[in-house]
Amino acid sequence: MRAVVTVMGSDKPGIIAGTSTLLANNKVNILDITQTIVRGIFTMVMLVDIENSKMELADLSESLKALGTELGVEIRIQHEDIFNSMHRI
């Protein structure tokens, strides 16, 4: 099962490292990643495989949200189908 992780906030060191470490520690595989910084605003989108995750999606979402608070950014995770439905034209 795949999901989409989005991260947005003011750029600072440790955002990518913190997010990818949390995912790796929970056996979530990053399949694709894109990130950019526009005028100091950091944005990142990851496509991840959560099939072997140690956590349920809801628990993983709460952990990422808590990490985001710690890092001063907003981190969300959504099942790929929900993300695609929300962003369909």
Can you give the three-state secondary structure of the chain, one letter per residue?
CEEEEEEEEECCCCHHHHHHHHHHHCCCEEEEEEEEEECCEEEEEEEEECCCCCCCHHHHHHHHHHHHHHHCEEEEEEEHHHHHHHCCC
Model confidence over 5-56: pLDDT tens digits?
Answer: 999 999 999 999 999 999 999 999 999 999 999 999 999 999 999 999 999 9
CATH number for 37: 3.30.70.260
Number of domains in the chain: 1
Rounded mean pLDDT, 58-74: 98
Domain of 44 in residue numbering reads as 2-86
Residue 82's pLDDT is 74
Q: Is 70 exceeded by the pLDDT of residue 89? A: no
Cut 0.75: pTM above it: yes
